[in-house]
Amino acid sequence: MTVDLPPLGLGGAQLGNLYHAVPDETAAASVRRAWDEGIRYYDTAPHYGLGLSERRLGAALAAYPRAEYVLSTKVGRVLEPRAVAPGERDDQGFDVPGTYRRRWDFSRDGVLRSLESSLDRLGLDRIDLVYVHDPDDHFEEAVSGAFPALLELREQGVVGAIGAGMNQAPMLAEFVRRFDLDHVLMAGRYTLLNQPALDELLPLCVERGVGVVAGGVFNGGILATEQPGAIYDYAAAPADLVEKAQKIAEICARHGVSLPEAALALPRTHPAVASVVVGAHDAEQVSLNVRRAAANIPAVLWDDLADAGLLRSAARPVVSGGIQ
């Protein structure tokens, strides 16, 4: 891997007003707090708030030495200006004016155009790590266009490392088999509630030396609080999953561990996982997640969850403890 990732990163979706608007100063304060807490990996994407996340993150990070942090963004969605009616908002979960449209484009030209625009929004002259973002319905174009383009850019030194970021594991595994990737960003597929990445992706990444970045460790919110929340992967949580999360929380409590502490800890116990990325709506949430990530997790907790049928036996971690 050409870029080493710190064990904990700040995700940028909330900086793009995911679910609700965040004032500029609140967003800037979140990045400042992340820096003060020692976080040196920041992930964003054009998709997040139609470029707002990139603009805010770039402006906040301008105060710090460029060589001291790692930044990743993504390609696959090109932003194009559009005329909108007064008050018209984005329709993909971000509370921002709908003044741009996202156009899927995994071609070579689309990658180059997307990166040029991202660099402009970020105010940077280079990006450390670039992911092909959500190519679920664009497999062939990503294989023939986006990945070869990124491999060439990495060879030229234009980007430091390349990978793919998705909410599923099987296609990520296929990309790892086909291309010389550095990292994959896997959202929500190795969590307390489900571990499908164990089937193929994680063992393959260990074999190939591909670093895994675990995102979506709270599965959209259900694992983010002491008692299970009501949202799972951006939708209302099914009753059976809420019940399972409650049982997990009860076993965690017996060991003096909160549900979110365990949710942050589990991915880091797998040898394939290089980093965990988590977002925050404000500075206090950043600090809370840092404290949660540093919690010491007794190894017996994982054994108890597996013995209760709440965690796959293959997920019994080989290491324990919090993020250092």
Residues annotated as catalytic (active site), given as ranges: 48
Report residue 150 as tokens: 């990124």
The three-point CA angle 285-288-293 to 5° equals 125
Instruction: Label residue 102 exposed, middle or buried (CB < 10 Å: 0-12, 13-18, 19+).
Output: middle
Contact 146, 111 (CB under 8 A): yes
Q: Which uninterrupted H or E stretch holds 148?
A: helix 147-156
Helix (H, G, I), strand (E, B) or coil at 10: strand
Q: Which uninterrupted H or E stretch holds 68?
A: none
Contact 183, 274 (CB under 8 A): yes
**Within 13 Å, how many C-alpha atoms sit on residue 152's CB side?**
10
Distance of CA 306 to the CA centre of its chain: 26
Strand (E) positions, 143-208?
159-166, 183-187
Alpha carbons 124 and 57: distance in angstroms, whole number: 11
